[in-house]
Amino acid sequence: MMLSVINVCKNMYNSSFLALQIRFKSKTHWAKLKKKTSAKYKAQNHFDEFYGSVFGDKWKPMKEAMLRRSKYVAVVNNYGDAEETVEYLTKRGAHCLKTLMSVQQEFHKQYPPTPSPVDTQHSHTNSRLEQYTTKLQSDEISNVYSQKDGVPEKLELRDVTLRSSEEEKKVDRGKSTSITLEQSLAEAQIDTSRIVDPSMGLTSEALYQYLPATQLKGMDDWVPESLHYSYLTKDKDFPLVIEPETEFTFPEHLKVYTYEMGSDWTMFPEPKRCKTKVFNYYPMDCGSVASVLALCLRPGERVLDLCAAPGGKALAALQTLLPAVLVCNDASLSRGNRMGRIFRDYLIDFETSNLWRERVVLSTCDGRDFVDDVGFDKVLVDVPCTTDRHSMNEDENNIFRPDRIKERLRIPELQSQLLANALQLVRVGGAVVYSTCSLSPVQNDGVVHMALKHAFETNNIVATVKDLSGPLAGLSSTLSLCAGGAAPRYGQLVVPTIEANFGPSYIARLVRVK
């Protein structure tokens, strides 16, 4: 029997065989599956759920536009060869934004748009947001509580208040997730088999992973997702007046050029150095230009840009040739250095001229703690936000990274503190412009509402909300403003579209009256 088996094996060896390796492919490659878990895809999934509930069918084309390359306008540098730059941009087919606005405003005067029933639409939007928040709370409860522990009807959140950094630290140290969870953790048995002798030579970082687990890792800093939406409050127990803006004018010396609306638009080439060694124009989003226009700058004013870096809006404000003093502040040293480089690239002799030292003041301070004894005529608060377009397209420095969850959920609190401080810094009769690059009603109208409420209750400050829908209607031939049920109440929202791929940008103008 053994001999016959050996003979068969010899015959098989002598024969010609071709062995082929067969790979059974799945529908989706593992690398693609891993890629889909990165921060930008988490952001896209989050926005699909949240913005889908806010904007409905309008969200899909917005998302398509945000995943494409954004569009820019060119802000002409008055400290370079301005006339030559205007001629150069005009020959390339670009149009003057001021002229486009004037034409569109005249058109609206002859054919005024029909107003929509705002109150009914806003109540419908608020209802959808309430349903979304309720669903989030339900999901959070099921994730934290086990079925046998008994699920509460509502997850208890801490009161949403504007705390100082020291108070926030105290709250964090004393916070507990739930009594039931603490009891379960206290009764947990320590797995002594996982205790490792330090003499093994492991690093402290590696050793930490083997320490006896007496509580869930990370739960000490646990923040519910629904806390992010608690800023959408309904209470109106403070003076709140919304009136049309009547002082808006386009600055005479601000020269902005853009290509006409459409899908086949041309990108501006890279800026070039002028004879004066500065760049000829600065490319920026048209929504950012709108926030500078909303300041309604006047000659000789003292202006503060509270979160100025990287410096584009501050530079646009300087191009109006109107501010006597512009204070540019930012909490980040690296971003502040970047702002300084931009000023050196666009302002003649910025580092050596005494004129610039008196006119432009650079500051590195937490905007919540910024103080000033004189007061400002205008304050721009372009706050840190979820930077929706960046979050959907880039993994680097993405706020949706797992290690930045707590930071993201605390964004509305930070934004409200910054805006509340800005209302203290502006003089009575002066204006604060609040802006974000987010579509979120939480970070936009929600923050404005909470900051106005806090400013009144703590410092008796009263500010009037100025309706910018009239003045900014002149931009309707250049960019797309959100209308209908999803439109914000306190500000204007620039939404990205394929034809006009600017934004997202939210702009609200508040004038202090007390």
The tokens describing 479, both together, are 């960019």
Q: Which of 253, 274, 268, 271 is CA-nearest to residue 80?
A: 274
Give the E-state strand segments of 353-504 in sequence order: 360-363, 376-382, 426-436, 463-467, 492-494
Question: 5: buried, middle or exposed (CB in 10 Å: 19+, 13-18, 0-12)?
Answer: exposed
Among 307, 328, 437, 482, the one annotated catalytic: 437
- Cβ neighbours around 356 below 10 Å, total: 17
481 bridge partner residues: 494
For the beta sheet containing 256-258, the strands, ordered from the edge strand earlier in sequence to the opposite edge, are 95-96, 256-258, 73-76, 281-284
- Bridge-based pairing state of the strands 376-382 and 426-436: parallel
d(CA 55, CA 53): 6
**Backbone φ and ψ of 512, nearest 5°:** -75, 125
Q: Calculate the CA 228 to chain-centre distance.
A: 14
Q: Would residue 482 show up in a list of annotated catalytic residues for this protein?
A: no
Provide the 3-class DSSP secondary structure of residue 305: strand
- Bridge-based pairing state of the strands 463-467 and 505-512: antiparallel
Residues taking part in catalysis? 437
